[in-house]
A and B are shown apart, each in its own frame.
Chain A
Amino acid sequence: MPAVVSTARRRSGLRISKRALPYVLSLPALLVCIGILVPFFAAVLYSFQRYRLSQPWNRQYNWGENYLNFFTDPGFWNTLRVSLVYAGSTVVLELLLGLGIALLLQKRTRLNNFISIMLLMPLMTAPALAALMWKLMTNPGFGVLSYLASLVGLQDFRWASSPSTALFTVVLVDIWVYTPFIMILLLAGLRSLPTQPFEAAALDGVPRSFVFFRITLPMLMPYILTATLFRLLDSIQQFDIIYAMTQGGPGDTLTVFQVEAYLNFFQSTNVGRSAALLMILWVITYFLSFVFIKNWLRLRERARGEA
């Protein structure tokens, strides 16, 4: 690519030839990102090394050992399980809740528009700060949620500090932050659906459950898929909420991929294991994003077509 640019420059002096122009325009953005790609390849190498920051003299290639060790490592299976449970439960709950809210707000009334704008506020709150807000709300000393829990008879409900409810608490924060994301995508989808099928169904007196399952849902499917995959991609990598809330604790209750990799790197300084964990997460997200981008493109074509 740089060769193309330089020959083009020579041929026409200072004027950039037509063929080279797009490369010249996109090159700076590319260079900035390529600089960031270098560490990615470093991570690939690290994942094949025995590499502890505390023992630099021991550093050497052990090839697949970091990965093979995972098979007999209960910590790894815990990480995989917690990550999948977290991603699965947040995405399913947010999808159901987001779809429900979008249906409630579907009519373009002034009140509905106002509410849908209000609901954007949690989404625009930094997830790490949202976790801190909920941490204050669930504080056993003065937290309003702890107080409410005690009112309904849960005297010693310990929210994120108890292993049995920690997952529930972070999932709740995730729902608070990200449900509006699904809601606004589906609301935009619902409002862009053509009206004729619904008018025809109303004329024929088709039952509303039939309309919902046979007309609304199928027509909304591209939006639902895009929103779901988008959230799944983010959720399987969740770090901010969990780290800000419990740092992966109590114990290893919430050591999802990125949290576990972070702790491996900075606390046990085991760079090799940390990199191998992230590589596995990367493979998962790569396949998800492949499916996602195909879907997203189709939706994008459609949106551009309507414009």
Chain B
Amino acid sequence: MEHTSLIERILRAVALALVVVFFMFPLLWIFLMSFQTNETILSIPPELFFTPTLQNYTALITGKLTSAAGTLDIAFMRNLWNSVFLSVTSVAVSLLLGVPAAYAFARHKFRGSEDIAFTLLSFRFAPPLLVLLPLTLYFQQLGLANTYFGLVWVYQLICLPLILWIVRGYFEDISADVEYAYRIAGHSWFATFRKIALPLAGPGIAAAGLLAFIFAWNNFVFALVLASADKQPVTVGALAFVTASGIQYGQIAAAIVLSIAPTLALALYAQRYLVEGLSLGAVKG
């Protein structure tokens, strides 16, 4: 690598610049658009310099859009709240169910343990609609149609395999001898789990939780099939937005910015763990 020619270094820099432009430009463009009025957006050629306005965001946050044609109600804050509630609850439930199971799979090689772990993993790869479409019919019979309970339950399909497999890896990394020594000292397995295993695997559990949150937040098809307007998260809500009449483009852009900001912020915060999480624990970053 030391004897790279000047031409090669220039080519590398150009290629890298192109890569950055391709991947960053859409985000930048939407971000700028969210501060523009409809007139600015519709001007051709696109204006590079404009006076930014916050009116798109205020319209979304107050839920009222006043225009010449009258006032229009926007339920976007409701979608945002649904996203927060569904993602947080699903991850909490997943951690509650998944962390003990991950510990069991990591520490005890019991009969059928690998089969069960793989069955749980295979949920990650089955076509979601295969389960979702019959589920719409079942949920209607069970009275779970369009309930947060039903949605959180189904969201376990996204969160649980992820948490189980990542956290399992972290438990496996803890030396069993440490736990054994603590057990010998006369402590119960639960005390060992709580005082030794949980704190040591803590960062991994937190990272798995953050990742599960991101995936739950970004999910689209589950809520599209199972939720009506009042329970829909931002991913589904934003789609309805585009087809709604009277909505201005700047507001769509602002809605997209508000919808992706939380996951982008979390991803940048947890980026150290992303490689491991995205590969379900197969590759370490």
A and B co-occur in one complex: yes
Mark A residues whose CB is within 8 Å of B: 1, 19, 21-23, 25-26, 28-30, 32-33, 35-36, 38-40, 42-43, 46, 100-101, 104-105, 107, 115, 117-130, 132-137, 139, 141-142, 144, 147, 176, 179-181, 184-185, 188-189, 192, 223, 226, 230, 233, 237, 239-240, 243-244, 257-258, 261-262, 265, 271, 274-275, 278-279, 281-282, 285-286, 288-289, 292-293, 296-297, 299-300, 303-304, 306-307
Determine the main DSSP class of A at the interface with B: helix
In the complex, A32 Cα to B113 Cα: how many Å? 17
Chain A residues with CB under 8 A of B138: 38-39, 42
Is B104 positioned at the interface, with any CB of A under 8 Å from its CB? yes
In the complex, A29 Cα to B120 Cα: how many Å? 9
In the complex, A134 Cα to B220 Cα: how many Å? 17
Q: Which residue of A lies closest to B271 (CB)?
A: A117
Is B154 positioned at the interface, with any CB of A under 8 Å from its CB? yes
Q: Can you report 24 residue pairs joining A to B where beta carbons are below 8 Å apart?
A: A22-B113, A32-B97, A32-B153, A36-B131, A39-B134, A42-B138, A43-B130, A121-B268, A122-B27, A126-B263, A129-B234, A129-B256, A132-B252, A142-B44, A184-B275, A184-B285, A226-B282, A281-B130, A282-B126, A289-B122, A296-B280, A299-B283, A303-B281, A306-B284
User: Given contacts A28-B101, A128-B238, is CB(A278)–CB(B129) below 8 Å?
Assistant: yes
Q: How would residues 73 to 116 of chain B score, 1 for a CB under 8 Å from any chain A CB and 0 otherwise?
A: 00000000000000000000000111011011101101011001
User: Given contacts A26-B101, A104-B19, is CB(A181)–CB(B278) below 8 Å?
Assistant: yes
Nearest CB in chain B: distance from A263 CB, A:
11
Chain A residues with CB under 8 A of B6: none
Nearest CB in chain A: distance from B12 CB, A:
6
Contact B275 A134 (CB under 8 A): no
In the complex, A49 Cα to B87 Cα: how many Å? 36
Nearest 4 interchain pairs by C-beta: A126-B218, A39-B134, A25-B104, A22-B108
Most chain B C-beta atoms within 10 Å of own C-beta, residue among A36, A230, A244 = A36
Is B123 positioned at the interface, with any CB of A under 8 Å from its CB? yes
For the A-B complex, the count of residue pairs with Cβ-Cβ distances under 8 Å equals: 278
Q: Which residue of B lies closest to A118 (CB)?
A: B24
Determine the main DSSP class of B at the interface with A: helix
**Residue among A32, A132, A285 making CB contact with B156, cutoff 8 Å:** A32
Chain B residues with CB under 8 A of A134: 26
Chain B residues with CB under 8 A of A118: 20, 23-24
Chain A residues with CB under 8 A of B263: 124-126
User: Given contacts A126-B263, A136-B33, is CB(A30)–CB(B116) below 8 Å?
Assistant: yes
In the complex, A229 Cα to B9 Cα: how many Å? 33
Contact B259 A29 (CB under 8 A): no
**Residue among A132, A176, A257, A292 making CB contact with B239, cutoff 8 Å:** A132
Contact A120 B154 (CB under 8 A): no
Contact B282 A121 (CB under 8 A): no
Q: Which residue of A lies closest to B3 (CB)?
A: A202
In the complex, A42 Cα to B141 Cα: how many Å? 14
User: Given contacts A38-B138, A300-B169, is CB(A141)–CB(B122) below 8 Å?
Assistant: no
Contact B22 A281 (CB under 8 A): no
Contact A121 B283 (CB under 8 A): no
Q: Which residue of A lies closest to B40 (CB)?
A: A142
**Residue among B26, B96, B225, B278 making CB contact with A185, cutoff 8 Å:** B278
